[in-house]
Structure 1
Amino acid sequence: MTFNFNIREIATATMVLFAVIDILGSIPIIIGLRKKVGHIQSEKASIVAAIIMVAFLFVGEEILKLIGIDVNSFAVAGALIIFFLAIEMILGISLYRDDEPESASVVPIAFPLIAGAGTLTSILSLRAEFQVENIIVAIVANTVFVYLVLKSSKKIEKVLGKNGVNIIRKVFGVILMAIAVKLFTANISQLIGN
């Protein structure tokens, strides 16, 4: 069994997941949850989110085959979702938002806040283009970052301030939009070619 680690793929996948998970943009929600319930289980939430993401990386494609959808079609749909997420981030608008979670247990933080529909769609879209081991490294890197943010959300908000968080969201929104366009063009050409 050979591993094809590629720094460029790891970096791109890490940035895509970082932008889609948008843990920095979720700091206000995390702080709100912490105020409501007093404590957030950072370790548990991070581990469960990582397990969900890695599991979906391996069984997501099988689930699609069961339904009768190929990875390229899913990647095109994923690219559109990522594109709309990017529009939300850049323009600061809300096209669709789930209700704010009511408790800070694993369920609202690990899923859907971290490993939500956008993240899972992105993982399968990345799978259509990148090696699995590179995506796993990206998932692990993001999980570590998510854990650190959950642990120190109060400090981060004080350091960055509201404007700092907004600037980071907009920058990653533009990166995300460019990646969505690349994913869309790469997979739509394969669909049309078939």
Structure 2
Amino acid sequence: MHPFIFKEIVSVTMILFAIIDILGAIPVIIQLRQRAGHIESEKASIVVLILMIVFLFVGDKLLDIIGLDVASFAIAGSLVIFIIAMEMILGIHLFKPDEEMSSTVSIVPLAFPLIAGAGTMTTLLSLKSQYQTQDILIGIVLNTMFVYLVLKNVQWLEKLFGKTGIDILRKAFGIILLAIAIKLFRSNTHL
């Protein structure tokens, strides 16, 4: 067992923080909460934590078993993000809320693919080749704790921004999310 390297922990934590971009996802989280009624922050955070840890250890093997490459996985994630972005920009609802939605929204699309999506998963695979596993695990735990804090305080954040502020943020972040989806799609297609 190698000793923990503080510099590596900080690097991994910052890289994952940038990829997860929970602050940038606040308008999406607010929109999902409004449509579903509430968000189960504990459930979403636990699912994010489990997804990232499992993918860190068996992600590449899992994709091999089901005959997928990382690029296909990333493209699928980009399409879901694209649809969410279009909903935000155009103010339309492609996914109609149903009675089941309030219990599942915390997992799909919130935990996956929004927080622990294709970008996060592919980043974990590349971090594995550069950093020690225990340092990556600490980075995952720290990011999950931050995700939980944001999800837990989303109502307070909603009050802080107000309806107009949220509408402006939703449109702006919708465009950013759209750009991320297109970049993820382009960087994983060889057209």
Calculate the TM-score normalised by the size of structure 2: 0.66
Return closer, same or farther for 1:24/1:12 CA change in 2, 3 Å cut-off: same
Amino acid at match of 1:52: L
Q: How many residues are treated as equivalent by the alignment?
A: 178
Return closer, same or farther for 1:52/1:6 CA change in 2, 3 Å cut-off: closer
Alignment correspondent of 2:121: 124
Return closer, same or farther for 1:185/1:102 CA change in 2, 3 Å cut-off: closer
Amino acid at match of 2:32: S
Q: How does 1:1-194 map to 2 (within 5 A)?
A: 3=8, 5=11, 9-10=15-16, 12-15=18-21, 18-19=24-25, 22-29=28-35, 32-33=37-38, 42-43=41-42, 45-97=44-96, 99-101=98-100, 108=104, 110-112=106-108, 114-118=110-114, 119-126=116-123, 131-132=127-128, 137=139, 140-141=142-143, 143-189=144-190
Percent of pairs with identical residues:
40
Deviations 1:142-194 (A, max 9, x none): x34442344334433322222222222222221222222222222213xx6xx
- Distance (Å, rounded) in 1 between the aligned partners of 2:155 and 2:85: 25
Q: Secondary structure at the match of 2:94?
A: coil
For structure 2, which runs of at least 5 residues remain unmatched after alignment? none
Q: Secondary structure at the match of 1:90?
A: helix
- Distance (Å, rounded) in 2 between the aligned partners of 1:131 and 1:160: 35
Deviations 1:21-54 (A, max 9, x none): 9323333256x348xxxxx6x4465234322333
> Which sits farther off after the overlay, 5-14 or 91-100?
5-14
Alpha carbons 1:21, 1:115 under 8 Å: kept = no
RMSD of aligned residue pairs (Cα, Å): 3.9
Calculate the TM-score normalised by the size of structure 1: 0.65
